[in-house]
């Protein structure tokens, strides 16, 4: 299926009660904008517009959808809308806040809080191979707090990666850009290209959606932890299933990291879902442990935000 280039809404466009300022990103599933609400508060708006199903030309508002793509487009729109509805119920400091979702222009929009800061991926690229263990433990302990809340609502993220972990200017992390709707659409419509991120997607995202669960997100957390240390993602899971060339970090022993942290990451990256952590809480407990049987003090990460901010400010 040919890739289509969808035209973004122009700066200054009035969308419901919001005014588009500029485009932030443009992926195969959606277009993301920076906008302002009625009180001039900045927000992020995500527009459902999969390139492979719809085409919007410059100057147009509603996308053109071929007859053979109508059912898939509507199904994806329903998934996107339902995801927005579910996320709007979450109120957690480490999960992006969905403020509103609405239908117009023949598609669906999700409005989220605008956060100032930068992605964990940007931090990794700037400090390649030198991301401190204390920073890693603090970031992911907080991130897992948010993921526990997501999972407690029977939701999965399905696109956890360093570029979807945002570090606010105060140092606290927030989970962005859920991929569950993209995954569902791709799984139900075989003609669509897969909508996951190689290296960070779990094996079951390639093979069997019936095996998806919290452990799938924890594989992605493990891959993100791996990237913090190595500076790049582990080999893609589908390649590993054919021939696993991943050398465990506990064998590589990169300098500056405790064996306990490296073994925890290896645990997350097991190909068999049953061999991974089964809950975000169990992984969080492992990250708060320096040595077997030794849990770190409960308050260790209480001021993680200020310590993370100092790491960010120094780097």
Q: What are the pLDDT digits (tens) for 261-272?
A: 999 999 999 999
User: What integer is the mean pLDDT of 215-225?
Assistant: 98
- Does residue 119 surpass a pLDDT of 70? yes
Q: What is the per-residue pLDDT across 52-68, written as a single tens digit (0 to 9) for each? A: 899 999 999 999 999 99
DSSP conformational letter for 279:
S
Q: Name the packing angle between helices 133-152 and 259-268 (round to 10°).
A: 30
Whether 305 and 237 map to the same domain: the answer is yes
Give the position of tokens 């898939």: 72
Q: Which pLDDT does position 4 carry in this prediction? A: 57
User: What integer is the mean pLDDT of 269-290?
Assistant: 94
pLDDT band at 303 (very low <50, low <70, confident <90, very high): very low
Which of 113, 140, 158 terminates a domain? The answer is 113
Whether 248 and 300 map to the same domain: the answer is yes
Question: pLDDT: is 305 or 7 the higher one?
Answer: 7
User: What integer is the mean pLDDT of 180-201?
Assistant: 73
Alpha-carbon span 224 to 172, nearest angstrom: 17
Question: pLDDT: is 130 or 234 the higher one?
Answer: 234
Residue 77: give the domain boundaries. Answer: 14-113
Whether 108 and 123 map to the same domain: the answer is no
Report which of 290, 295, 286 is spatially closest to residue 268, judged by C-alpha positions: 286
CATH number for the domain harbouring residue 297 = 1.10.510.10
- Does residue 186 surpass a pLDDT of 80? no
CATH number for the domain harbouring residue 41 = 3.30.200.20
In a domain, 247, yes or no: yes
User: What integer is the mean pLDDT of 20-36?
Assistant: 92
In a domain, 4, yes or no: no
Q: What is the per-residue pLDDT across 64-116, written as a single tens digit (0 to 9) for each? A: 999 999 999 998 899 899 888 999 999 999 999 999 999 999 999 999 999 99
Is 8 in contact with 31 (CB distance < 8 Å)?
yes
- Does residue 302 surpass a pLDDT of 70? no
Tally of structural domains, the chain: 2
Whether 184 and 276 map to the same domain: the answer is yes
pLDDT band at 289 (very low <50, low <70, confident <90, very high): confident
In a domain, 209, yes or no: yes
Alpha-carbon span 226 to 279, nearest angstrom: 19
Whether 70 and 217 map to the same domain: the answer is no
Report which of 10, 52, 58, 54 is spatially closest to residue 35, judged by C-alpha positions: 10
Give the position of tokens 């932030």: 24
Tokens found for residue 237: 């899971």
Tokens found for residue 67: 């007859």
pLDDT band at 291 (very low <50, low <70, confident <90, very high): low
pLDDT band at 195 (very low <50, low <70, confident <90, very high): low
Query: Residue 15 forms beta bridges with which residues?
Result: 18
Whether 150 and 288 map to the same domain: the answer is yes
Quote the pTM value: 0.88
Which of 113, 134, 154 terminates a domain? The answer is 113
Cα torsion for 121, 125, 130, 133, to the nearest 10°? 0
Question: pLDDT: is 15 or 192 the higher one?
Answer: 15
Report which of 166, 227, 183 is spatially closest to residue 44, judged by C-alpha positions: 166
CA distance to 3, 158, 159, 233, 276, per residue, from 236 (Å): 23, 15, 14, 8, 17
């Amino acid at each position: 299926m040919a890739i289509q280039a969808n035209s973004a809404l122009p700066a200054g466009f009035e969308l419901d009660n919001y005014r588009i300022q500029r485009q932030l990103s443009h992926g195969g599933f959606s277009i993301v904008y920076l906008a302002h609400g009625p009180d001039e508060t900045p927000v992020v708006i995500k527009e459902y517009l999969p390139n492979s199903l719809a085409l919007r030309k410059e100057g147009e508002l509603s996308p053109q959808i071929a007859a053979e793509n109508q059912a898939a487009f509507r199904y994806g729109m329903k998934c996107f809308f339902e995801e927005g509805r579910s996320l709007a119920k979450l109120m957690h400091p480490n999960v992006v806040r969905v403020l509103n979702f609405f239908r117009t222009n023949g598609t669906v929009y999700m409005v989220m809080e605008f956060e100032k800061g930068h992605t964990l991926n940007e931090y990794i690229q700037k400090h390649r191979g030198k991301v401190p263990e204390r920073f890693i433990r603090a970031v992911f302990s907080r991130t897992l707090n948010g993921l526990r809340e997501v999972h407690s609502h029977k939701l999965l993220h399905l696109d956890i990666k360093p570029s979807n972990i945002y570090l606010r200017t105060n140092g606290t992390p927030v989970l962005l850009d859920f991929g569950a709707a993209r995954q569902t659409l791709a799984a139900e419509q075989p003609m669509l290209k897969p909508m996951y991120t190689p290296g960070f997607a779990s094996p079951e995202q390639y093979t069997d959606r019936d095996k998806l669960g919290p452990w799938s997100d924890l594989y992605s957390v493990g891959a993100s932890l791996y990237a913090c240390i190595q500076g790049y993602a582990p080999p893609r899971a589908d390649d590993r299933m054919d021939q696993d060339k991943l050398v465990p970090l506990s064998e590589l022993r990169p300098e500056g990291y405790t064996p306990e942290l490296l073994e925890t990451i290896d645990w997350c990256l097991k190909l068999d879902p049953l061999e991974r952590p089964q809950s975000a809480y169990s992984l969080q407990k492992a990250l708060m442990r320096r040595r077997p049987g030794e849990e770190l003090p409960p308050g260790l990460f209480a001021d993680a935000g200020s310590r993370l901010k100092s790491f960010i400010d120094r780097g």
